[in-house]
């Protein structure tokens, strides 16, 4: 969500809610996480940052979507650690890439983190997967839970936008457009999540069993698994991001269908200009491109719509993606390290 959708009252409330959730999750992670999960949190954070750069087209709609990654994180890390990692990803995006508004950051963390980690994973995924999951049950659980998480998250966007009252987006019209397009995005997210879990199931099946039976000790991820996720993150951010769809994402598409424009103008008074100026100062790669004069583009930005042509090579996007992935790796790893479980003093 951009700041143009969120009022200071709603944005401040969701900042407080998300900050409270981060504090709760930090306490849980401090009690649960040991040194064995630290590298996995960092590497998965980098991986999720990278895959969020890839917008895929939704056939027949003129829209696109990207993965959220919250469910995958919850399955592999547990809900609390997953929430902290997705928060790390979104903070890096907002501060260093001007992706998502600073006022809307609390909304984005809650919508993309809370619903998959604390609703879809424990109430849907775990019940379908069971305690002895096979590949088929894992796939079904991933798809159903991913769809549910995206539906709840998109409803959260509609509700927060309506309560803010800044835009001319009627609740009913906005909802009717948001839910179906995010149903399609959720199905794709579920399929990708199922594919990644199938890879983990083949490499380290005990990790998926432990994630369901939380009382068991956390296994140490295999080095090959960690290197595989890191390599996938760097390849995705550094090369596959060139081929992201140029179509507007689901939120932009829904806004355009109602208002005729993909982006709404932010208010020119109050806190909005100050936050926009701050974000401009902190952005290392605005819109996932090298700082400097904007180049012509068919999409919103380099990462979310460079072009649909397979001939595009954008080194600015590559640099932004790799730097962002490494920043997320460092921040998520540092959070895990600071919160790791320490042995009791003798």
**Per-residue pLDDT tens over the stretch 134-152:** 889 899 999 999 999 999 9
Is pLDDT at 318 greater than 50 in this prediction?
A: yes
Q: 174: how many CB neighbours lie within 10 A of its CB?
A: 23
Q: Which residues pair with 65 in a beta bridge?
A: 56
For residues 187-193, average pLDDT: 95
Q: Pick from 301, 329, 303: which is nearest to 231 by CA?
A: 329
* Domain 3-339 = CATH 1.10.1760.20: yes
Domain borders along the chain are: 3-339
Structural contact between residues 11 and 2, judged by C-beta atoms closer than 8 angstroms: no
Is pLDDT at 338 greater than 60 in this prediction?
A: yes
CA 228, CA 7: separation in Å to the nearest integer? 42
Alpha helices (H) in 4-134, listed in sequence order? 8-32, 38-51, 70-77, 79-97, 105-109, 126-129
Higher pLDDT, 290 or 320: 320
CA 120, CA 79: separation in Å to the nearest integer? 10
- Summarize pLDDT for 69-111 with one digit per residue, the tens: 999 999 999 999 999 999 999 999 999 999 999 999 999 999 9
Mean pLDDT of the chain: 87
Is pLDDT at 342 greater than 90 in this prediction?
A: no
Is pLDDT at 334 greater than 60 in this prediction?
A: yes
pLDDT at 312: 59
pLDDT at 284: 87
């Amino acid at each position: 969500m951009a700041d143009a959708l969120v009022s200071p009252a709603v944005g401040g409330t969701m900042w407080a809610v998300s900050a409270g959730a981060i504090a709760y999750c930090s306490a849980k992670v401090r009690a649960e996480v040991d040194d064995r999960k630290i590298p996995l949190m960092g590497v998965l954070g980098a991986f999720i940052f990278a895959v969020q750069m890839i917008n895929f087209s939704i056939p027949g709609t003129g829209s696109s979507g990207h993965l959220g990654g919250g469910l995958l994180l919850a399955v592999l890390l547990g809900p609390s650690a997953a929430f902290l990692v997705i928060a790390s990803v979104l903070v890096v995006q907002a501060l260093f890439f001007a992706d998502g508004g600073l006022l809307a950051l609390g909304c984005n963390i809650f919508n993309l983190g809370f619903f998959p980690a604390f609703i879809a994973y424990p109430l849907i995924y775990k019940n379908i997967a069971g305690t002895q999951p096979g590949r088929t049950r894992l796939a079904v659980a991933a798809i159903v839970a991913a769809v549910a998480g995206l539906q709840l998250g998109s409803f959260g966007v509609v509700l927060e936008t309506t309560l803010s009252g800044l835009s001319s987006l009627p609740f009913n019209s906005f909802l009717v457009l948001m839910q179906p397009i995010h149903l399609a995005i959720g199905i794709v997210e579920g399929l990708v999540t199922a594919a990644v879990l199938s890879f983990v199931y083949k490499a380290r099946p005990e990790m998926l069993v432990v994630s369901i039976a939380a009382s068991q000790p956390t296994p140490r991820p295999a080095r090959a698994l960690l290197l595989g996720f890191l390599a996938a993150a760097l390849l995705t951010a550094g090369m596959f991001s060139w081929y992201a769809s140029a179509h507007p994402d689901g939120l932009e598409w829904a806004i355009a269908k109602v208002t005729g424009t993909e982006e709404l103008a932010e208010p020119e008074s109050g806190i909005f200009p100050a936050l926009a100026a701050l974000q401009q100062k902190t952005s290392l790669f605005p819109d996932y491109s090298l700082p400097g004069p904007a180049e012509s583009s068919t999409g919103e930005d380099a990462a979310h719509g460079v072009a649909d042509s397979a001939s595009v090579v954008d080194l600015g996007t590559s640099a932004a993606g790799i730097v962002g992935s490494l920043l997320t790796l460092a921040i998520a790893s540092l959070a895990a390290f600071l919160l790791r479980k320490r042995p009791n003093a003798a």
